[in-house]
Amino acid sequence: MGQLYDPASDEAIYQSVRSTLESARAKAAVAVNDAMVSAYWEIGRQITEAQGERAEYGKHLMEYLSERLTKEFGKGFTIRNLQAMRQFFLAFPIVNTLCSQLSWSHYRLLIRIEDRERREFYAHAAVEDHWSVRQLDRQIHSSYYERLLATHEDHREVVRKEIQKVEPVTKADDILKDPYVLDFLDLSGSAFLEADLEQALMDKLQEFLLELGKGFAFVARQYRITTASDSHYYIDLVFYHCILKCYILIDLKTGKLTPQDVGQMDFYVRLFDDQCTQPNDSPTIGIILCADRDETVAHYSALAEDKGIFASRYLTYLPTEEELAQVLETTYTLASGEAE
């Protein structure tokens, strides 16, 4: 008597059924999230309109609703949560602007941002770049918005373009940040080698790509380029930017920026463009990632000549607001062309 079942067929059917269930669960999760976010927005609207300008009544209303709703619907309706729903409505008063891709946990982070433009930037970036709640929290606390804007003279215009998609990203300035915050590397102090920094970035490549921003794709480390006289040179990190359609070379420096660093990167970019790029590629961009930047070198070198070569600092720790403000002041001054 022949075999009554085929293990391969059983496995194929199982995988098909499993795929169906996974798809259904994903759709259900999206639907539940969308319904919950909409419900919390509506609750916030009703509370806000009922309270009006009556602060004392608002306090009473929160306590009353919290007690009644908790008895009937269980946890989740504390006074604090109801206040968050009211704040949610005030931060996003137009229901049609809510994004189904963002969860209530995303919005709980966003409503803490008081500045409307800053809040809209993070909401837009979270959707566009598919940030998890954890990633959004990290970007907010590392001042992603401020670091991006500090590299631009017309920084408000950059945000407008990013949020409204008036114009696409077209130049290197639109993707650069200064400083880059590499707190995820677990490198303490300054007693480490460039090789240690490179290895740490490779070990945390996903986090590094998030820090670099949208459009970066990893190509290689220690990429070898060779001259006509058979001299070999090695570029620390090579990326391709899918939006700008160009290669981006990154040279790691654990010390202060020097004229030799700038000259070396200029050489790398020229040689790479000559040997490695294709006709449809845009000109290669070079970024020197250094522990500190000599502003005189930056002002009197190829960095100031719009040759696609840039220098940005990196921090291996999450700075305080005061520390970051000091660093950003220097960056913004340079971007505005005010440095001596």
In this prediction, residue 156 carries a pLDDT of 54
In this prediction, residue 339 carries a pLDDT of 41
Largest interatomic CA distance in the chain: 92
Least confident of 138-147, 173-182, 278-287: 173-182
pLDDT tens figures, 282-313: 999 999 999 887 777 765 555 656 678 888 88
Q: How far apart are CA 312 and CA 290, in angstroms?
A: 6
Buried b (16+ CB within 10 A) or exposed e, 88-121: bbebbeeeeebeeebbbebbbbbbebeeeebbbb
| pLDDT grade for 34, boundaries at 50, 70 and 90 | confident
| More confident site: 13 or 22 | 22
| pLDDT grade for 154, boundaries at 50, 70 and 90 | low
Average pLDDT of the residues in 22-46 = 86
DSSP of 123-170, one letter per residue?
HHHHHHTT--HHHHHHHHHTTHHHHHHTT-TTHHHHHHHHHH-SS---
In this prediction, residue 200 carries a pLDDT of 93
| Structure token digits, residue 291 | 């522990």
- Least Cα distance to 251 among 164, 309, 329, 176 occurs for 309
In this prediction, residue 284 carries a pLDDT of 94
- Mean predicted lDDT score pLDDT of the chain: 84
pLDDT tens figures, 37-72: 999 999 999 999 998 888 888 888 899 999 999 988
| pLDDT grade for 75, boundaries at 50, 70 and 90 | confident
- Least Cα distance to 147 among 171, 118, 109 occurs for 118
pLDDT beyond 80 at 151: no
Average pLDDT of the residues in 190-198 = 86
Other Cβ atoms less than 10 A from the Cβ of 241: the count is 20
pLDDT tens figures, 4-13: 667 777 778 7
In this prediction, residue 83 carries a pLDDT of 94
Classify residue 247 by burial, with Cβ atoms within 10 Å: 0-12, 13-18, 19+: buried
What are the phi and psi torsion angles at 203 (to 5°)?
Answer: -65, -25
pLDDT tens figures, 103-115: 999 999 999 999 9
263 within 8 A of 306, measured Cβ to Cβ: no
Q: What is the pTM of this model?
A: 0.73
Counting residues of the chain whose pLDDT is more than 90, the rounded percentage is: 44
Q: How far apart are CA 264 and CA 190, in angstroms?
A: 23
Does residue 179 have a cis peptide bond before it, meaning omega lies within 30 degrees of 0? yes
234 within 8 A of 224, measured Cβ to Cβ: yes
pLDDT tens figures, 210-258: 999 888 999 999 999 998 888 999 999 999 999 999 999 999 999 888 8
Domains of the chain: 7-104 (no CATH), 170-335 (3.40.1350.10)
